Structure 1
Amino acid sequence: MNSSKQTPLYDLHRQLGAKMTTFAGYQMPVQYNNGIIHEHLHCRSQAGFFDISHMGQCRVTGEHAAEALEKLTPGGIVDLKCGAQKYTVLTNADGGVIDDIIVTRIESGLSLIVNAGCKDKDFAYLRSQLPADCVFEALAELALFALQGPAAAAVLAKFAPQTGELKFMQACATEIAGTLCHISRSGYTGEDGFEISLPQADAERIARLLLAEQGVEPIGLGARDTLRLEAGLCLYGHELNESITPIEAGLQWIFKKGHSDFPGAEKILQQRQDGAERVRVGLTVDGRIPVRDGCEIVHQDQPIGTVTSGSFSPSLNRPVAMALLARRFAEPGTGLTALVRNSAISVTVTSLPFVPHRYRRT
Structure 2
Amino acid sequence: MSEEDEFELEPIEILELPLDAWHRDKGARMVEFAGYHMPIQYEGIMAEHIWTRDNAGLFDVSHMGQLMLTGDGVAEALEAMVPGDISALQEGKMRYSLLLAEDGGVLDDMMITAVPMGLYVVVNGAVKWDDMGYLREYLPDEVTINNMEDRALLALQGPKAVDALLRVVPGVDALYFMEAGSFFWGPKTDPEPLWISRSGYTGEDGFEISVPAAHAQKLADQLSAQPEVRPIGLGARDSLRLEAGLPLYGHDMNPDVDPVEGNVAFAISKRRRAEGGFAGAERILDALANGPARKLVGLSVDGKMPVREGAPIFAGEAQVGIITSGGFAPSLGAPIAMGYVNAAHNAAGTALEAEVRGKRVSVTVANLPFVRHHYHRKGANT
- How high is the TM-score relative to the length of structure 1? 0.98
Superposed displacement of residue 179, structure 1: 2.0
8 Å Cα contact 1:61/1:135 also seen in 2? yes
Report the Cα distance in structure 1 between the residues aligned to 2:84 and 2:162, rounded to whole angstroms. Answer: 30
Is 182-191 or 156-165 further displaced after alignment? 156-165
Report the Cα distance in structure 2 between the residues aligned to 1:75 and 1:124, rounded to whole angstroms. Answer: 21
Matched, 1:104 2:113: yes
8 Å Cα contact 2:31/2:37 also seen in 1? yes
Structure 2, unaligned stretches of length 5 or more? 1-10
Matched, 1:343 2:359: yes
Structure 1 counterpart of 2:251, one-letter code:
H
Partner SS for 1:201: helix
Q: How does 1:108-257 map to 2 (within 5 A)?
A: 108-177=117-186, 178-257=191-270
Superposed displacement of residue 21, structure 1: 0.2
Report the Cα distance in structure 1 between the residues aligned to 2:232 and 2:333, rounded to whole angstroms. Answer: 19
Report the Cα distance in structure 2 between the residues aligned to 1:337 and 1:2, rounded to whole angstroms. Answer: 39
Superposed displacement of residue 2, structure 1: 7.5
1:31 to 41, 44, 47: 41
Report the Cα distance in structure 2 between the residues aligned to 1:20 and 1:303, rounded to whole angstroms. Answer: 37
Matched with 1:293 is 309
Superposed displacement of residue 157, structure 1: 1.2
- How high is the TM-score relative to the length of structure 2? 0.93
Structure 2 counterpart of 1:289, one-letter code:
M
Report the Cα distance in structure 1 between the residues aligned to 2:372 and 2:275, rounded to whole angstroms. Answer: 30
Matched with 1:324 is 340
Q: What is the number of equivalent residue pairs in this alignment?
A: 361
Structure 2 counterpart of 1:36, one-letter code:
I
* CA root-mean-square deviation: 0.9
Report the Cα distance in structure 2 between the residues aligned to 1:51 and 1:196, rounded to whole angstroms. Answer: 10
Superposed displacement of residue 176, structure 1: 2.2
Structure 1, unaligned stretches of length 5 or more? none
8 Å Cα contact 2:94/2:113 also seen in 1? yes
8 Å Cα contact 1:285/1:347 also seen in 2? yes
Report the Cα distance in structure 1 between the residues aligned to 2:33 and 2:265, rounded to whole angstroms. Answer: 30
Superposed displacement of residue 158, structure 1: 1.4
Superposed displacement of residue 63, structure 1: 2.5
1:260 to 254, 257, 276: 276
Report the Cα distance in structure 2 between the residues aligned to 1:2 and 1:50, rounded to whole angstroms. Answer: 25
8 Å Cα contact 1:75/1:259 also seen in 2? no
Structure 1 counterpart of 2:61, one-letter code:
I
For the pair shown, the structure with the greater C-alpha radius of gyration is 2
Structure 2 counterpart of 1:300, one-letter code:
G
8 Å Cα contact 1:95/1:263 also seen in 2? yes
Percent of paired sites with the same residue: 46
Distance 1:186 1:93, change over 3 A: same
Matched with 1:20 is 30
Partner SS for 1:294: coil
Superposed displacement of residue 160, structure 1: 2.0
8 Å Cα contact 2:354/2:361 also seen in 1? yes
Q: How does 1:35-114 map to 2 (within 5 A)?
A: 35-114=44-123
Partner SS for 2:85: coil
